[in-house]
Amino acid sequence: MFSKSQRQGLMGVVAALVVAVIVLQARIDPLRRQEAIEPKTVGKVLEKNATTLPFEYILGTLTGFRQVIAGLLWVRTDSFFHSGNYDAVLPMIRLITWLDPNWLDVYATGAWHLMYNFTDTDQRSDRRYLEPGLALLDEGIANNPNVYDLYKEKGWNNFDKVKDYETAVNALKAGAENDPKFDVTQLGHLMAHALERAGRTDESIQQWEQIVKQHQAVLDDKKSTPDAIGRATQGVKSARNNLAHMKVRQIVRRKDTQPPVDAGFTVTVKRTKPKVLEISGTFNLVGAKEFDMGTPEKPGKGILVEGPVDGARVDVRLQDEGYKMAKRQEFSFEVDPKLTIMQDQISIRGGKKAEKGGLFVAQGKNAGSVERSAEHVAVYGFDDEEIKKHKLGSVLLSKGLGQLSPMGQLQAVSVAYPLPYASTKKQYTPAEVQTLMARLRNDSAKLAELDGKKYCVAQNDAYQAGTFRREIDMSKDPSMYSFANDTFELILTMNPRTAPDFVQDRIGWSGEGLTDKNYLYVDKEKNNLRMIRRVIKLKREDLTGTEPKVLVAK
Amino acid sequence: MSTTLVIARNTISEALRRKILNAFLLVGVAMIVLTFAFQAFQPRQELTLIKGMGLGIISLAGILISVILSINLIPTEIERRTIYTILSKPVRRYEFLLGKWGGAVGTVFINVLLMTVVFVAAVAVKQIIGQQPLDAFALFKGALMTYMQLFLLCSLAIFLSIFTTPLINFFLTLSLFILGNLSSFIQDLAKNSTNIVLKGIFTAVHYLVPNFGNFQYSNPLLNPGVQVNSEALFLIQNVVYAVVYSAVLLILAVLAFDRREV
Residue A53, domain CATH: 1.25.40.10
Q: Report the run of H or E that residue A256 belongs to, with start and end.
A: helix A226-256
* A180 touching B (Cβ < 8 Å): no
A22 vs B contacts (CB less than 8 Å): 207-208
Judge: A67–B237 Cβ closer than 8 Å, yes or no.
no
Q: Does the distance separating the beta carbons of A27 and B237 come in below 8 Å?
A: yes
**Measured between alpha carbons, how far is A441 from A24 in angstroms, rounded to an integer?**
98
Interface residue B30 vs chain A (CB under 8 A): no
* A234 against B90, higher pLDDT: A234
**What are the distances in angstroms from CA B89 to CA A109, B3, B82, B95?**
66, 11, 12, 12
Please report which confidence band the pLDDT of residue B227 belongs to, taking 50, 70 and 90 as the band edges.
confident
Across all residues in chain A, what is the average pLDDT?
A: 93
Q: In which band, very low, low, confident or very high, does the pLDDT at A49 lie, cut at 50, 70 and 90?
A: low
Q: A100–B223: do the CB atoms touch at under 8 Å?
A: yes
**Looking at the structure, do residues A368 and A430 belong to the same domain, yes or no?**
yes
* Separation of alpha carbons A410 and A427, rounded Å: 9
Q: Higher pLDDT residue, B116 or B18? A: B116
Cβ-nearest to A67 among B44, B222, B254: B222
Chain B, 81 to 120: residues with Cβ < 8 Å from chain A are: none
pLDDT tens digits for range B173-206: 999 999 999 888 889 889 988 999 999 999 999 9
- In chain B, what residues touch A68 (CB-CB under 8 Å)? 52-53, 55-57, 60
Burial A345-362 (b: 16+ CB within 10 A, else e): ebbbbbbbbbbbbbbbbb
Q: Residues A356-383: pLDDT tens digits?
A: 999 999 999 999 899 999 999 999 999 9
In A63-188, which ranges are continuous DSSP H helix? 66-82, 86-99, 104-112, 130-143, 149-157, 165-178
How many angstroms separate the CA atoms of B154 and B101, rounded? 7
pLDDT of A411 higher than 90: yes
Q: Given a cut of 90, is residue B83 above it in pLDDT?
A: no
Taking a C-beta distance cutoff of 8 angstroms, is the pair B54, B123 a contact?
A: yes
A227 touching B (Cβ < 8 Å): yes
- Side-chain-side CA neighbours of residue A294 (13 Å): 16
CB atoms A64 and B216 under 8 Å: yes
A168-182, A478-492, B89-103 — which is least confidently predicted? B89-103
3-class SS at A368? coil
Q: Let me know whether A402 and A522 are in one domain.
A: no
Work out the percent of chain A whose per-residue pLDDT is above 90: 80
Partner residue facing B56 (CB), from A25, A59, A68: A68
CA distances, A157 to each of A42, A89, A161, A180, A540 (Å): 27, 19, 5, 22, 31
pLDDT digits over A429-461, tens only? Answer: 999 999 999 999 999 999 999 999 999 999 999
Asked if B44 reaches chain A (Cβ–Cβ under 8 Å), the answer is yes
Pair B131, B42: CB distance under 8 Å: no
Q: Does B31 touch chain A (CB under 8 A)?
A: no
**Which DSSP string do the residues of A30-79 spell out, in sequence order?**
HHHTSTTTS-TTHHHHHHHHTTTS-HHHHHHHHTT-HHHHHHHHHHHHHH
Which region among A352-356, B48-52, B174-178 has the lowest average model confidence (pLDDT)?
B48-52
| Mean pLDDT (whole number) for A413-424 | 90
Q: Hey, are the CB atoms on A78 and B251 less than 8 Å from each other?
A: no
Considering only residues A255 and B225, tell me which one the structure prediction assigns the higher pLDDT.
A255
Closest to A14 (Cβ–Cβ): which among B181, B206, B248?
A: B248
Interchain proximity A75–B214, CB inside 8 Å: no
Cα(B7)–Cα(B12) distance, integer angstroms: 9
Structural domain including A347 reads 261-351+465-553
Residue A146: its chain B contacts at CB < 8 A? 225, 227
Residue A275 pLDDT class (50, 70, 90 cuts)? very high
Chain A contact for B132 (CB, 8 A cutoff): no
Q: Does A1 touch chain B (CB under 8 A)?
A: yes
Q: Are residues A430 and A492 in the same domain?
A: no
A553 pLDDT band, cuts 50/70/90, is confident
Distance CA A388, CA A390 (A): 6
C-alpha–C-alpha distance, residues B235 and B45, integer Å: 27
Three-state DSSP class for residue A125? strand
Query: What is the number of structural domains in chain A?
Result: 3
How does residue A2 score in pLDDT terms, banded at 50, 70 and 90? confident
| Per-residue pLDDT at A50 | 59
The pLDDT, as a whole number, for residue B34 is 64
Predicted pLDDT of residue A48: 66
Asked whether residue A60 falls in the same domain as residue A75, the answer is yes
Whether B128 and chain A come into contact, CB under 8 Å, resolves to: no
Domain boundary (A256, A288, A303) is at A256
Average pLDDT over residues A251-270: 96
Residues A173 and A269 grouped into a single domain: no
Same domain membership, residue A386 and residue A436: yes
What single letter denotes the amino acid at residue B243? V
Amino acid in the structure at residue A89: V
Does any domain span residue A12? no
The neighbouring-strand residues paired with A457 are: A359, A395
**Local confidence band at A213 (pLDDT 50, 70, 90 cut-offs):** very high
Does some domain include residue A238?
A: yes
| pLDDT higher than 70, residue A6 | yes
Q: How far apart are CA A69 and CA A46, in angstroms?
A: 13
Residue A95 located in a structural domain: yes
Q: Is B171 on the interface with A (CB under 8 A)?
A: no
Measured between CB atoms, does A107 come within 8 Å of chain B? no
d(CA B184, CA A129): 35
Q: Report d(CA B225, CA B132) in Å as an integer.
A: 14
Say if residue A85 is in the same domain as residue A230.
Answer: yes
Q: Residue A168: inside a domain, yes or no?
A: yes
Cross-chain residue pair A17–B248, CB shorter than 8 Å: yes
Q: Does B203 touch chain A (CB under 8 A)?
A: no
Question: Does A39 have pLDDT greater than 90?
Answer: no
Q: Which residues of B touch A39 (CB under 8 A)?
A: 219
Same domain? A410 vs A508: no
CA atoms of B210 and B208, how far apart (whole Å): 6
Determine whether the interchain pair B222/A7 forms a contact, defined as Cβ–Cβ distance below 8 Å.
no
The ipTM assigned to this model is 0.91
Q: Do A24 and B227 touch (CB under 8 A)?
A: no
Residue in B closest to A145 by C-alpha:
B226
- Is the pLDDT at A179 greater than 90? The verdict is yes
Which residues in chain A touch residue B206, judged by CB atoms under 8 angstroms apart? 25
Tell me the per-residue pLDDT of B103-154, one tens digit each, with 9 for 90 and over.
Answer: 999 999 988 998 888 889 888 888 888 778 888 899 999 999 999 999 999 9
Which among B216, B223, B259 has CB closest to A38? B216
A15 in B contact zone (CB under 8 Å): no
Same domain, residue pair A64 and A181: yes
pTM of the model: 0.86
The pLDDT mean for chain B works out to 88
Residues A361 and A450: their CA atoms lie apart, in Å, by 10
Helices within A355-486 (DSSP H only): 372-375, 384-390, 406-416, 430-441, 444-452
Using CB atoms, which residue from B45, B52, B255 is nearest to A67? B52
Contact A149 B245 (CB under 8 A): no
* Contact assignment for B53 to A68 by CB distance below 8 Å: yes
- Please tell me the distance from the alpha carbon of residue A113 to that of residue A101, in angstroms, as a whole number: 18
Cβ-defined contact of A37 to B41 (cutoff 8 Å): no
- The C-alpha of A237 sits at a distance from chain B's nearest C-alpha, in angstroms, of 22
Does A84 lie in the same domain as A229? yes
Q: Which of A256, A289, A313 is the last residue in one of the domains? A: A256
- For residues A189 and A162, membership in a common domain is answered with yes
B187 contact A CB<8A: yes
Domain-embedded: residue A148: yes
Q: Of A256, A287, A310, which closes a domain?
A: A256
**Domain check: are A437 and A481 in the same one?**
no
Q: Please check whether residue B254 touches A, CB under 8 A.
A: yes
